[in-house]
Amino acid sequence: MSYTIEGETGPWELVIGLEVHAQVVSNAKLFSGAATEFGAEPNSQVSFVDAGFPGMLPVINRECVAQAVRTGLGLNAQVNLWSRFDRKNYFYADLPQGYQISQFAHPIIGTGQIDIELQDGSTKTIGITRLHLEQDAGKSLHDQHPTKSFIDLNRSGVALMEIVSEPDMRSPEEAGAYLTKLRQILRYLGTCDGNMEEGSMRADVNVSVRKAGEGYRTRCEVKNVNSIRFVMQAVEAEARRQIEVWESGGTVEQETRLFDTGRGITRSMRSKEDAHDYRYFPDPDLPPLVIEQSWVDQLKAALPELPDQRRARYVRDYGITPYDAHVLTLEKETAAYYEAVAKGRDAKQAANWVMGDLFAAINRTKTSIAEPPVSAADLGALLDLMADGTLSGKLAKEVFEVMVETGRAPGLIVEERGLKQVTDTGAIEAVIDEVLAKNADKVAEYRSGKDKLFGFFVGQTMKAMQGKGNPALVNEVLKKKLA
Amino acid sequence: MSLDTATVRRVAALARIRLPEEEVARVQGELNGILGWIEQLQAVNTDGVEPMAGGNPEGIAAMPMRDDVVTDGGIAPKVLANAPDREGEYFGVPKVVE
């Protein structure tokens, strides 16, 4: 059943395409030697090139080109060995050159595709139209002064990849899943840190609606949406607005809109018909960008394992379910943690502990997998203590909680608190004898056929042993004594 | 091809050039003169010739590249030296309200 929104005139389909701006991970900017680091003092990472001083010549950063190529390869896309930079002309206070150096007619990366995973377990292929390199603009602060805006050019000239999708998405969920997957791929590749809060990744969302079987109707672009959740909300809000326009007899005008996150609606941003007249032309400062196939091959050979490959490997080598593999590979930090725990151990048990107890502890302590409350080595050691019979599953959970609280290694905790599981059959027998003597009536009932009482005896024994009895041994001895 | 006065005004507006009404006709004449020269160039037969965007034909000199090393920046006073208005280490501009 495909996603539709019910209007007064019946169901409407959604057509969604995304343009994602992803900041390239590099030390220096796209065309200058100034630093890219986030959060520096205003205008301290600005060269004369970035400030648009006259007579300054841009020289491209090889690593930024490599990052674009890696990303293209990760998106299963065509790499263009010949590409070119154009000037996109517009005026804004944080664009000192008066134009953005971008790639309009000849992008470095052509068509590609990625598979997205949906809630119902299905996958869908989304087409990539292109990826091109361009300069970021500076940052404007509007709330520091009653009549002035403040401009910081530290971000001016930082390399961006603009990644354009085909209009292949049909629901807010698919748009969210696409952005999730794209972010995951970029983070695995190390070509963008994917930090949406700091603005390293932002999306322009193109939305239109239509009746089943129709071609495309006019679309609107919702600019600069900065979280996956907001993208999904903006898609739905904009689709509902357009449906209302069409159903009230109006016409949707092609325009740029903003998503008001507080009110959950989109509003018109600029209506000037000139806004999109960027008068692109080839940048006369820059010769064509020509790269060698052999270099592309080298970059390809050195690509890290991508999420799809890793997920398949987990299912194949670790024998965990596709769903567990999906969850464990969503963030590369989670995958690294999991592999450290699973290596040489019961991989399924490791998956359960990471996804269950560890995730819960991270939520509870408001930490992250990058700075986990329990290290992978310590969790692994805990699993080892279960494997060698030192700890029962129940005791292991208790020890884990102490590990979260104290950050200490499981071996130390077991020793200090005397939590070691009792595997001495003699000791267990002594306790059981006592339990049976105290409950002679129940023993009689059990022997006369009330099998269910067995659990009662196990419970009493464990209670008497403060949970430290080895469950298998307790069972074994009880069966023997009650026989 | 020739430009009408409306197009001349629009091009000026896009380039943020103030064009007084009495100059529109003169600028129109100048721009149409330039377009006339370009039309002459169009007459040259370029069948089978690769288009060239700049003085650097494909393959003769590829774009030079720099290494990914921080070699610049840390010159905020110089960058801000010519600013008509500054607020601390920021450029100050008339409020840009969206």
Condensed to tens digits (0 to 9), the pLDDT of residues A385-440 reads 888 878 888 889 989 999 999 988 998 888 887 777 777 778 888 888 888 888 88
Range with the lowest mean pLDDT among A170-184, A452-466, B46-60? B46-60
A292-347 residue pLDDT tens: 999 999 999 999 999 999 999 999 999 999 989 999 999 999 999 999 999 999 99
Determine the residue of chain B that is closest to A96 in CA distance: B91
- Of A469 and A455, the structure prediction assigns the larger pLDDT to A455
Contact A154/A45 with Cβ under 8 angstroms? yes
What tokens were used for A191?
């070509």
Backbone angles phi, psi at A44, to 5 degrees: -90, -10
- Calculate Rg over the CA atoms of chain B: 22
Contact A96/A153 with Cβ under 8 angstroms? yes
pLDDT of residue A270: 64
Predicted ipTM?
0.87
Pairs of residues, one from chain A and one from chain B, whose beta carbons lie less than 8 Å apart: 144
The DSSP letter of residue B20 is -
Check CB contact under 8 Å for B58 and A258.
Answer: no
Check CB contact under 8 Å for B53 and A43.
Answer: no
Check CB contact under 8 Å for B63 and A287.
Answer: yes
Q: Report the alpha-carbon distance of residue A34 to residue A27 in Å, rounded.
A: 8
Q: Report the alpha-carbon distance of residue A182 to residue A400 in Å, rounded.
A: 35
Q: Does residue A275 sit at the B interface (CB-CB below 8 Å)?
A: no
Average pLDDT value for chain A = 92
Q: Which residues of A touch B10 (CB under 8 A)?
A: 274
pLDDT of residue A472: 79
Q: Report the alpha-carbon distance of residue A423 to residue A53 in Å, rounded.
A: 78
Q: Considering CB atoms only, which of A41, A89, A149 is closest to B93?
A: A149
Q: Does residue A140 sit at the B interface (CB-CB below 8 Å)?
A: yes
pTM value? 0.83
Q: What architecture is domain A425-482?
A: Orthogonal Bundle (1.10)
Q: Report the alpha-carbon distance of residue A80 to residue A61 in Å, rounded.
A: 17
Answer yes or no: is pLDDT of A183 > 90.
yes
Q: What is the mean pLDDT of residues B72-94?
A: 94
Enumerate chain B positions whose Cβ falls within 8 A of a Cβ in A: 10, 13-14, 16, 53-54, 56, 58-59, 61-76, 78-80, 85, 87-98
A9-52 residue pLDDT tens: 999 999 999 999 999 999 999 999 999 999 899 999 999 999 99
pLDDT of residue A195: 92
Residue recorded with tokens 């990625």: A114
Check CB contact under 8 Å for B89 and A41.
Answer: yes
What is the full DSSP assignment across A4-69? -EEETTEEEEEEEEEEEEEE---SB-SSSSBB--TTPSTTSS--TTTTT-TT----EEHHHHHHHH
What is the full DSSP assignment across B46-85? -TTPPP-SSS--TTTSPPPEE-S---B---HHHHHTT-SS
Q: Report the alpha-carbon distance of residue A87 to residue A103 in Å, rounded.
A: 8
What tokens were used for A10?
């019946």
pLDDT of residue A271: 54
Q: Report the alpha-carbon distance of residue A279 to residue A277 in Å, rounded.
A: 6
Check CB contact under 8 Å for B87 and A145.
Answer: yes
All structural domains of chain B: 1-42 (1.10.20)
Name, in order, each residue with C-beta under 8 angstroms of B50's C-beta and a sequence gap of 6 or more: B57, B58
What tokens were used for A461?
């024994």
pLDDT > 90 in chain A, percent: 72
Residue recorded with tokens 């932002």: A202
Q: Which residues of B touch A35 (CB under 8 A)?
A: 70, 73
Check CB contact under 8 Å for B70 and A51.
Answer: no
Q: Which residues of A touch B93 (CB under 8 A)?
A: 93, 148-151
Q: Considering CB atoms only, which of B56, B89, B95 is closest to A148?
A: B95
Q: Does residue A288 sit at the B interface (CB-CB below 8 Å)?
A: yes
Q: Which residues of A touch B64 (CB under 8 A)?
A: 59-60
> What ranges make up the beta strands (E) of A52-174?
60-61, 82-83, 86-89, 99-102, 112-117, 123-135, 139-141, 148-152, 159-165
Q: Report the alpha-carbon distance of residue A70 to residue A403 in Å, rounded.
A: 40
Check CB contact under 8 Å for B56 and A279.
Answer: no
